[in-house]
Structure 1
Amino acid sequence: MRAVTYDSYAPDNSRLRYDEVPDPKVGPGQVLIQVRAASVNPVDWKVMAGGLDGLMDTVFPVVPGWDVAGVVVRTGPDTPEFGPGDEVMAYARKDVVQAGTFAEYVAVAAPAVARKPASLDWAQAAGLPLAGLTALRSLDRLGVGPDDVLLVHGAAGGVGSLAVQLGRDRGARVIGTASERNHGFLRELGAEPVSYGDGLTDRVRALAPGGVSTVADFVGGQLETTLAVLADGGRHVSIADPGVSQHGGHWIWVRPDGALLAELAAMADRGALTVEVARTFPLEQTGEAFDASRTGRTRGKLVIVP
Structure 2
Amino acid sequence: MKEPSANTSASTSRAVQFVESFGGPEALSVREVPVPQAGAGQIRVRVNAAGLNPMDWFMTSDAETAARFGLSLPCGFGTDYAGVVDQVGDDVRRFAVGDRVFGGALSRAVASYVVVDESGIIAAGGEAHRTPDGVDDRTAATLAIAGCTAAAALAVINPGPTDTVLIGGAGGGVGVFAVQLARLAGARVIGTGSASSADALRALGSEPVTYGDGLVDRVRALAPAGVTSAMDLHGTDTAQAARELGVPDERITTIAAQVDGITPANGGNAAPGAIEEIAGLVAAGQLRVPIAATFPVEQIRAAIDLQAGRHVHGKVVIDLVASRPSRG
Q: Normalising by the residue count of structure 2, what TM-score does the alignment of the two structures yield?
A: 0.86
Is 2:313 the counterpart of 1:299?
Answer: yes
Is contact 1:213-1:234 (8 Å) kept?
Answer: no
Residue type matched to 1:225 in 2?
A
Give 3-state SS (helix, strand or coil) of 1:53's partner: helix
What's the offset of the Cα at 1:196?
1.1
Please report how far the alpha carbon of residue 149 of structure 1 lies from its aligned counterpart in structure 2 after TM superposition: 1.3
Displacement of 1:85: 0.6
Q: CA deviation at 1:254?
A: 1.4
Match of 1:101 in 2: 109
Distance 2:97 2:281 in 1: 25
Question: How much has 1:56 moved relative to structure 2?
Answer: 1.9
- Give the structure 1 partner of residue 230 of structure 2: 215
Whether the 8 Å contact between 1:92 and 1:256 is mirrored in structure 2 is no
Is 1:13 matched with 2:25?
yes
Question: Which letter does structure 1 place at the counterpart of 2:73?
Answer: F
Report the counterpart of residue 237 of structure 1 in structure 2.
253
Alignment TM-score, normalising by the size of structure 1: 0.91
Q: Distance in 2 between matches of 1:287 and 1:224?
A: 34
List per-residue Cα deviations over 1:267-289 (Å, max 9, x = no partner).
Answer: 11222111110111111111111
User: Are the structure 2 counterparts of residues 300 and 239 from structure 1 closer, same or farther at C-alpha, using a change threshold of 3 Å?
Assistant: same
Separation in structure 2 between the aligned mates of residue 85 and residue 212 of structure 1, nearest angstrom: 48
When the two chains are superposed, the root-mean-square deviation of aligned CA atoms in Å is 1.8
The alignment status of 1:178 with 2:190, answered yes or no, reads no
Correspondence for 1:37 among 46, 49, 72: 49
Cα deviation, residue 79, structure 1: 1.4
Cα gap change, 1:52 to 1:229, in 2 (>3 Å): farther
1:270 matches 2:284:
yes
Give deviations 1:46-65, integer Å, cap 9, x for gaps.
12213633532222111111
Distance 1:9 1:201, change over 3 A: farther
The corresponding residue for 1:84 is 97
Secondary structure of 2:36's aligned partner: coil
Match of 1:58 in 2: 71
Pick the structure with more strand per residue: 1
**1:160 and 2:175 equivalent?**
yes
Superposed CA deviations along residues 145-181 of structure 1, whole A, max 9, x for unmatched, are 2222111111111110110000011111111111222
Q: In the alignment, residue 280 of structure 1 is paired with which amino acid?
A: T
Q: What are the residue-to-residue correspondences of 1:117-132 with 2, within 5 Å?
A: 117-132=132-147
Following superposition, the deviation at residue 256 of structure 1 comes to: 8.4
> In 2, Cα distance between the equivalents of 1:130 and 1:256?
11
CA contact (8 A) 1:120 1:268 kept: yes
- Offset from partner CA, 1:34-92 (integer Å, 9 cap, x none): 00100111111112213633532222111111100100101122111111111111022
Q: Is residue 215–residue 230 contact of structure 1 (8 Å, CA) maintained in 2?
A: no
Aligned residues: 298
The residue type paired with residue 49 of structure 1 is S
* SS in structure 2 of the partner of residue 59 of structure 1: coil
Relative contact order higher in (CA < 8 Å, ≥ 6 apart)? 1
Letter in 2 for 1:15: A
Indicate conservation of the 8 Å contact 1:154/1:218, yes or no: yes
Query: Which string of whole-angstrom CA distances, capped at 9 and with x for unpartnered residues, describes residues 175-195 of structure 1?
Result: 111122221222222111111
The one-letter amino acid of 1:101's match is A
Return the offset for 1:224.
2.4
Distance 1:40 1:133 in 2: 14
**SS at the partner of 1:186?**
helix
Return the letter of the residue paired with 2:113: Y
* Cα distance between partner residues in 2 of 1:272 and 1:110: 28
Percent of aligned pairs with the same amino acid: 39
CA distance in 2, matches of 1:41, 1:52: 16
One-letter code of the match for 1:200?
L
1:115 and 2:130 correspond: yes
Distance (Å, rounded) in 2 between the aligned partners of 1:241 and 1:196: 17
Call closer, same or farther: CA 1:19–1:165 in 2, change over 3 Å.
same
Q: Provide closer, same or farther for how the CA distance between residues 290 and 256 of structure 1 changes in structure 2, counting only shifts above 3 A.
A: farther
Could you list the runs of 5+ residues in structure 1 that have no partner in the other structure? none
